[in-house]
Structure 1
Amino acid sequence: MGPPYLGNPCTEAGLLGCQGTAQKLQLICDGTKWVSNGACAGEMICDTRAGATLGTCQVPSCPAGRTTCDGAALVTCSADMLSSTREECASAEHCSQALGGRCAKCLSSETRCDGSSLLGCSTDRQSMGVRETCATAALCDASAAKCAAPQCAAGEFRCDGDKLTKCNDGRTAFELVKTCSAGRCDAFNKECNECTPGVKDCLGSVPRLCDVTGRWQTLAGCSGATPMCVAGKCEPGVCGSGEHRCVGDVLEKCNETFSGFTPFKSCFAGLCDAVGGECDDCKDGAADCVGNTPRACTSLGHWKTLAPCAGATPLCRKGVCEPAVCSAGQYRCTGDLLEVCNSSLSGFSAVTTCAVGYCNAALGKCDECKPGEVRCVGDTPQVCASDNRWSSSTTCGSTTAVCLAGACVPQPKGWKNMAYASGVQGRRYHTAVWTGSEMIVWGGETSISDTPTGGAYDLSFDRWRALPSAPLNARRLHVGVWSGQQMIVWGGTNSYSRYANGAMYDPSTDKWTLMATSGAPTARSEATAVWSTTTNEMIVWGGWDGTNAFANGARFAPSATGGTWRSMANPSSFAVRYGHTAVWTGTRMIVFGGRSSYCSGGYCGTAAAYDPVTDTWATLTVPTSLDGRYDHGAALMGTRAVFWGGRGSLVGGTNLRNTGANYDGSYWRTMAVPSETVLPNSQRSDMVAWGSATHFFVWGGMSLAGFASTGAMFDPATNTWTALPNGNAPSARPGATVVWTGRAAIVWGGGSGLNDGKVYWP
């Protein structure tokens, strides 16, 4: 079927059309051809657009070909005067400068530089063309739409005082070539002259004259009776070839120009020899020793080696063979210091410092023990053998048997008494660590003041010993970790100051060593610290200096000489805080909670994980059961970091919490809330918390009813809580510490400065 046109054939009866585009005559198909269907009245035209309005009369919406801008869009009225097309231009200004129904590709005022060519927009605004070619690319100024005038000629040199300059490649300015000596700049020859014409001087012993071109001309060298060149003339020398002299202990030699002496070498006191032209080794008649071999100084100032000392006189002293002070392999004890006869047999050298009373000169080593003593290493009994060394017995094999007082006994159950800490002050807000055989406590606040003292409790023998004085100020709210060899304490506060120092206590030597301070964090209290088993270092993070909280820290590697600090990365988008907790999982440190003005309501409900191997942080998304809080409990339960309880914003009339969650390194698990039957007044803070391989425990703390003396155990396998027995439990107390031995928990101190505690056996 042909296009609609009067008389053209068609087959679809009733089909509407128009006699051309933007015309008034309407058409209709009668089944064989197109016939008139009337004409549109007034300004109306026949609609040729496909669709329901085809062949109907419509009021034109725009003149054909007219263009307008809708923002950056160029709108062009179509030939049918009823529709339009849109083309997106680069900007509204590019639309406003459109020509011939096309978006402008450039603006009439636009200029830019292409090398040395200044480009401008073409008259049809569709491309950039060369408007002007500049002398250099640097002279093309697009912002001014013109080529700048060259400031100098290509290759031009000039002198600016004593500075030789050259026109730069862009011809925009002169650039420095070199700075000449005064009066030596020569722009014509494009260089610095060597000298001023007519001047004479010396090059060593050779005179020279500056010619008219500013170049040196060499004259005949000085020699014979006038070997010295002075101001371009040959004159007699000050000294002769090879002549030496001594100025004090400095040996000097006549210089190459014979104009004076120059230092040759520095000798030891009294050993400068001008006649020999050298430093003597010794003074005539002197004698000394090289090891056990005597030597004597000759008249020429050199050593002569004599026969080595041996036999009855093996020791060389001041060049004379004498009897030995001690024999090879001989040991002695000076107090607790074990010493051995040195290689020259002239005295004793230190070997090591033994524990008090354990230096054994007869065996040439420190005794581990005294014969008949017993002890426990974990669950293995040991007895001291006749060689003063520990000998292990069979490990207590049953899960219901433990090693106590050097013997396997049935494991106790529930709360058990522990020895009163005689000689060790009671305290709170101290630190406590488990060494594998002892709980060591240090620092804290007594009933009177802060203390710099400490003590060690031996669970196996139920006995205490006092620690030696620490080289630190009294303090509380510090951090403490066990490295596997030392207890490391750092930071903290007292009534006068906050601290950025610390010390290490080694129970094997019963001695303290001050920690290095270079690279340590700034002074603070209420920080956290963990021992990293992947990098063998203590990680300190966060804390409070009395004015500011921190989101930084450092890492400390201990050593016998004080150890070293190194920096650690700061977490991104993780608020500063103090009063938070940190748990070491075996590969990462997990930080949660705390107080900060940068956290919602002042209580932090965020967590992050730090990997010391890669020195990187990862922010963790915690469940809603862990809202913002501080003074909560935290511990490692197997491989899970557990956080529970604490205090935060008011919820239900209280700021105390009885909610928590545990994190296995990949997923968080919300913990069930303990019932009031299992844990009365379960909403609490300031409790002690510990974890075993399979369970999480809490005890004591501040509850709605005051200080609590009850506790509970959480089982992650069933997500349930079980009450701890109340019989013989410790008295209620805040500020206590707890350590987990692997078989039992030791709760000690706290309150108003108590020095008692209990041992809980699950």
Structure 2
Amino acid sequence: MLVSKTVKMKRRKELSMSLSFLFMLTACSTAPSPQQAPWELIQEAPIQGREGHSIVWTGEEIIVWGGRAGSDLADGAAYDPQTRTWRLIATPAGFPGSYGHTAVWTGEGMLVTQGPDMADTGSDSMIYFPSSDTWRATSPAPDITGVVSRFAFDGDAVILSEEAVYSYDPDTDTWAQADTRFPVRDGALMETGEVAFVGFDEGGGLRVGAVDPRSGTYRRMPTRGVDEGPWERSSLVSSGQGKLWLVLSRGATDPSVVYSLEDGDSAWSLEYEDASLYLQASGIGGGIADSVLLEWFQGNLVSVRAGAIGVYDTDTGQLAAYQVDNDAAPCLLGDYSVIADDQLMSWSGPSCRNDAPLSYPTEGLIVALAN
């Protein structure tokens, strides 16, 4: 399934411990046995390494923008995996540097909105167009905090927060907002344009709903078939073929449980239980080393967390586990990774090298994915 392709020491140690702990857990679990993931470096970018930046895949390039490295940054660059070349992108005029912001690829442009340092400026969001290498300020965005996921649908940018779903239409330069009715942990975009989302009640029991971000129409979705809580971590993925996949766990070191829900069904089906910790669900408050990428890729659920890659084949019910070398630079972290066609690509964030203090390399990583 996979084929070849001086700062604070405290944070460096935390990342190293996270990776080492993850590896020990998987080594002690039953099948699958982790394999070393073959990887290659993306050449040095023309911008400095950083954290808190955004990364999106346009279908042709990955675009990285913003973040911080001692101070907030407003520059960015784009990498073409076909030509293996970088290019600098224009720096937006009148916007400060930003970290921890949200970026969404709409199909034509990259919407960037509301990092912590974008308040009190002329606009709190902007959109970048690679075809002309230009930026445009947008109408003021709603107060979007606690973002858990983002999507593109029919040219719009859709952002799911802990409390609402927001959509931005670049053609009309307008925003829409719909309430989720309960605190949200993760979500997925369905073929209908609805956003399905999951959360927990006060006792850790599962809650599931869906809303159309344009009309605001809400509907409750089933929780039947899912074991009772308390649950602590959750991720939701759409297959794009009328089926949702849900990954739950009771804690960061507890097994993950996979469920599926066909469109129109009244109950979830149990699909898989993973004690290896290579198929991960997202948590809250764990820091960058705990960030999880869980995406649908050609019939597989692909999970990335702290150098660990899990590939669950939904047809066969088999999980393959891979580990990226701890000495790779940079670390393979969920927040800084994207699936770009048939490749898993990651750029910057902290180094994982054990023989050096924490730093932010300018290289990236590529791991190739295949059926």
Specify the alignment match of 1:593 in structure 2.
Answer: 199
| 1:530 alignment partner, one of 129, 135, 151 | 151
Asked if the contact 1:674–1:682 (Cα under 8 Å) also holds between the matched residues in 2, the reply is no
Is residue 2:51 matched to residue 1:449?
A: no
The change in CA–CA distance for 1:663 and 1:434 in structure 2 (over 3 A counts) is farther
Cα shift at 1:504: 0.8
The change in CA–CA distance for 1:610 and 1:753 in structure 2 (over 3 A counts) is farther
Specify the alignment match of 2:270 in structure 1.
Answer: 670
Cα shift at 1:725: 5.8
Specify the alignment match of 1:570 in structure 2.
Answer: 179
Cα shift at 1:582: 2.6
- Write out per-residue CA displacement over residues 98-125 of structure 1, whole angstroms, 9 at most, x where no aligned residue: xxxxxxxxxxxxxxxxxxxxxxxxxxxx
Supply the distance in 2 between the matched residues of 1:499 and 1:691 (Cα, whole angstroms).
38
Partner secondary structure for residue 661 of structure 1: strand
- Write out per-residue CA displacement over residues 260-299 of structure 1, whole angstroms, 9 at most, x where no aligned residue: xxxxxxxxxxxxxxxxxxxxxxxxxxxxxxxxxxxxxxxx
Supply the distance in 2 between the matched residues of 1:660 and 1:498 (Cα, whole angstroms).
44
User: Where in structure 2 are the equivalents of 1:267-282 lying within 5 Å?
Assistant: none
Supply the distance in 1 between the matched residues of 2:302 and 2:44 (Cα, whole angstroms).
25
Asked if the contact 1:690–1:738 (Cα under 8 Å) also holds between the matched residues in 2, the reply is no
Partner secondary structure for residue 211 of structure 2: strand
| 1:749 alignment partner, one of 348, 356, 369 | 348
Specify the alignment match of 1:720 in structure 2.
Answer: 318
Partner secondary structure for residue 673 of structure 1: strand
Asked if the contact 2:148–2:187 (Cα under 8 Å) also holds between the matched residues in 1, the reply is no
**How many residues matched?**
315
Asked if the contact 1:674–1:720 (Cα under 8 Å) also holds between the matched residues in 2, the reply is no
Supply the distance in 1 between the matched residues of 2:220 and 2:119 (Cα, whole angstroms).
36
Specify the alignment match of 1:429 in structure 2.
Answer: 52
Supply the distance in 1 between the matched residues of 2:164 and 2:206 (Cα, whole angstroms).
18
- Write out per-residue CA displacement over residues 198-242 of structure 1, whole angstroms, 9 at most, x where no aligned residue: xxxxxxxxxxxxxxxxxxxxxxxxxxxxxxxxxxxxxxxxxxxxx
Cα shift at 1:439: 0.7
Cα shift at 1:511: 0.6
Partner secondary structure for residue 755 of structure 1: coil
Letter in 1 for 2:346: V
Cα shift at 1:458: 0.5
TM-score normalized by the length of structure 1: 0.37
Specify the alignment match of 1:458 in structure 2.
Answer: 80
The change in CA–CA distance for 1:604 and 1:428 in structure 2 (over 3 A counts) is farther
Is residue 2:102 matched to residue 1:479?
A: yes
The change in CA–CA distance for 1:608 and 1:449 in structure 2 (over 3 A counts) is farther
Cα shift at 1:558: 0.5
Cα shift at 1:459: 0.5
Specify the alignment match of 2:22 in structure 1.
Answer: none
Supply the distance in 1 between the matched residues of 2:322 and 2:102 (Cα, whole angstroms).
28
Cα shift at 1:438: 0.3
Asked if the contact 1:541–1:553 (Cα under 8 Å) also holds between the matched residues in 2, the reply is yes
- Write out per-residue CA displacement over residues 328-353 of structure 1, whole angstroms, 9 at most, x where no aligned residue: xxxxxxxxxxxxxxxxxxxxxxxxxx
Asked if the contact 2:256–2:275 (Cα under 8 Å) also holds between the matched residues in 1, the reply is no
Asked if the contact 2:330–2:365 (Cα under 8 Å) also holds between the matched residues in 1, the reply is no
TM-score normalized by the length of structure 2: 0.71
Cα shift at 1:662: 3.8
Cα shift at 1:455: 1.4
Partner secondary structure for residue 38 of structure 2: strand
User: Where in structure 2 are the equivalents of 1:259-658 lying within 5 Å?
Assistant: 415-446=38-69, 448-471=70-93, 472-494=95-117, 501-517=124-140, 520-526=141-147, 528-533=149-154, 536-543=155-162, 551-559=163-171, 563-571=172-180, 574-577=181-184, 580-587=185-192, 588-593=194-199, 599-600=201-202, 605-612=206-213, 614-622=215-223, 623-624=226-227, 628-630=231-233, 633-639=235-241, 640-644=243-247, 658=256
Cα shift at 1:503: 0.8
Specify the alignment match of 1:181 in structure 2.
Answer: none
Cα shift at 1:510: 0.5
Gaps of 5+ in 1: 1-410, 544-550, 702-708
Partner secondary structure for residue 696 of structure 1: strand
Structure with greater helix percent = 2
Asked if the contact 1:491–1:499 (Cα under 8 Å) also holds between the matched residues in 2, the reply is no
- Write out per-residue CA displacement over residues 337-379 of structure 1, whole angstroms, 9 at most, x where no aligned residue: xxxxxxxxxxxxxxxxxxxxxxxxxxxxxxxxxxxxxxxxxxx
Supply the distance in 1 between the matched residues of 2:271 and 2:121 (Cα, whole angstroms).
37
Asked if the contact 1:478–1:490 (Cα under 8 Å) also holds between the matched residues in 2, the reply is yes
Asked if the contact 2:279–2:303 (Cα under 8 Å) also holds between the matched residues in 1, the reply is no
Supply the distance in 2 between the matched residues of 1:695 and 1:730 (Cα, whole angstroms).
26
Cα shift at 1:658: 2.5
Compare relative contact order (CA 8 Å, sep 6+) and give the higher one, 1 or 2.
Answer: 2
Supply the distance in 1 between the matched residues of 2:344 and 2:247 (Cα, whole angstroms).
18
Asked if the contact 1:625–1:660 (Cα under 8 Å) also holds between the matched residues in 2, the reply is no
Cα shift at 1:456: 0.7
The change in CA–CA distance for 1:613 and 1:555 in structure 2 (over 3 A counts) is closer
The change in CA–CA distance for 1:515 and 1:697 in structure 2 (over 3 A counts) is same
Supply the distance in 2 between the matched residues of 1:754 and 1:422 (Cα, whole angstroms).
9
Cα shift at 1:615: 3.5
Letter in 1 for 2:209: A
Cα shift at 1:743: 1.6
Supply the distance in 2 between the matched residues of 1:566 and 1:695 (Cα, whole angstroms).
33
Asked if the contact 1:458–1:464 (Cα under 8 Å) also holds between the matched residues in 2, the reply is yes
Specify the alignment match of 1:687 in structure 2.
Answer: 292
Supply the distance in 2 between the matched residues of 1:498 and 1:440 (Cα, whole angstroms).
23
Supply the distance in 1 between the matched residues of 2:198 and 2:173 (Cα, whole angstroms).
27
Partner secondary structure for residue 64 of structure 2: strand
Partner secondary structure for residue 179 of structure 2: coil
Identical residues among aligned pairs (%): 18
Cα shift at 1:758: 1.5
Supply the distance in 1 between the matched residues of 2:235 and 2:92 (Cα, whole angstroms).
29
Supply the distance in 2 between the matched residues of 1:508 and 1:524 (Cα, whole angstroms).
30
Asked if the contact 2:60–2:80 (Cα under 8 Å) also holds between the matched residues in 1, the reply is yes
